[in-house]
């Protein structure tokens, strides 16, 4: 092994070049995730999108399936899958509907027909859910009501939570 000055300089230059190359590699590997835009509504993998859409459909079923028998408990349980902001909005709406549920002895059983991803990032996913709602009052025959619902899921410190629901 030679200890000559030129060789040490070559090694030093080589080390600097390799550090630079490592920096470029790190920059590439740590590069930011793609952002959604008009031309890229979905910028997460299929598995992530599908799992969050499935969670949205399941949460929507839980939220919309209610009964006059244990209305308050079901509303309280439903808020556990919502962001605090949406839970407050939902709680106010649910409270205003409570007398109607009790007077008419209303029961709703919801069933998901199909679901799809509308937009998705690693922070927020919007799912289109076709939902059938079977509504019965005073023990009567259930009436099927078909809905189209947009469920917004937001990633929080407690996982993916429902942050908005729009129904048409």
Partner 1 sequence: MREAREGLSLALWVLVGVLAVACAVGGIQVAQAHDTRARESAQHARYDATLDAATAEATAFVNVSHETAEDDLARIAAGATGPLKDRYTEDVRRIVRSLRRDQTATAGEVVWAGVVRVDDANATVLVATDGTREDRRTQDEPEDRDLRLRLRLVEVDGAWLTSEIQVVD
Please measure the distance between the N-terminal and C-terminal CA atoms of the chain and give it in whole angstroms.
79
- Closest CB to partner 1 among residues 135, 150: 150
Of the pair 20, 99, the CB lying nearest partner 1 is at 20
Element holding 64 (H helix, E strand):
helix 46-64
Q: Rule CB under 8 A: is residue 11 a binding residue for partner 1?
A: yes
| 122: contact with partner 1 by CB under 8 A | no
Of the candidate spans 70-78, 107-115, 134-142, 153-161, the one that interacts with partner 1 by CB under 8 A turns out to be 107-115
Q: Is 116 in the site for partner 1 (CB under 8 A)?
A: yes
Least distance to partner 1, CB of residue 111, Å: 13
DSSP run (H or E) holding 131: strand 124-137
Helices (H), 30-148: 46-64, 71-78, 84-104
How far apart are the C-alpha atoms of 168 and 160, rounded to whole Å?
A: 23
Q: How many CA atoms lie within 13 A of 133 on its CB side?
A: 21
Q: Are the C-beta atoms of 42 and 123 separated by less than 8 Å?
A: no
Q: Are strands 66-67 and 143-156 parallel, antiparallel or unpaired?
A: unpaired
Q: Which residues, in sequence order, are bridge partners of residue 56?
A: none
Q: How many CB atoms lie within 10 A of CB 95?
A: 12
Kindly tell me which residue out of 7, 76, 143, 145 binds partner 1, with binding defined by CB under 8 A.
Answer: 7
Min separation Cβ 134 and partner 1, Å: 14
Nearer residue to partner 1 within complex by CB, 46 or 103: 46
Is 40 near partner 1 (CB under 8 A)?
Answer: yes
Residue whose CB is less far from partner 1, 43 or 98 = 43
Residues of this chain that interact with partner 1 (CB under 8 A) are 1-3, 7-8, 11-12, 14-15, 18-19, 21-22, 25-26, 28-29, 34, 39-43, 45-46, 53, 113-118, 126-128, 130, 146, 148, 150, 168
């Amino acid at each position: 092994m030679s200890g000559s000055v030129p060789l040490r300089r070559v090694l030093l230059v080589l080390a600097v070049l390799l550090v630079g190359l490592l920096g470029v590699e790190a920059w590439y590997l740590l590069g930011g995730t793609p952002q959604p835009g008009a031309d890229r509504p979905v910028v997460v993998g299929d598995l992530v999108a599908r799992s969050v859409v499935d969670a949205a459909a399941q949460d929507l079923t839980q939220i919309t399936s209610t009964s006059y028998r244990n209305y308050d408990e079901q509303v309280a349980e439903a808020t556990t899958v919502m962001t605090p902001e949406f839970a407050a909005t939902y709680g106010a709406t649910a409270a205003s509907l409570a007398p109607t549920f009790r007077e008419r002895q209303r029961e709703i059983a919801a069933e998901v027909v199909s679901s799809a991803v509308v937009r998705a990032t690693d922070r927020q996913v919007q799912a289109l859910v076709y939902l059938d709602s079977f509504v019965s009052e005073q023990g009567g025959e259930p009436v099927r009501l078909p809905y189209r619902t947009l469920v917004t899921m937001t990633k929080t410190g407690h996982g993916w939570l429902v942050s908005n629901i729009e129904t048409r």
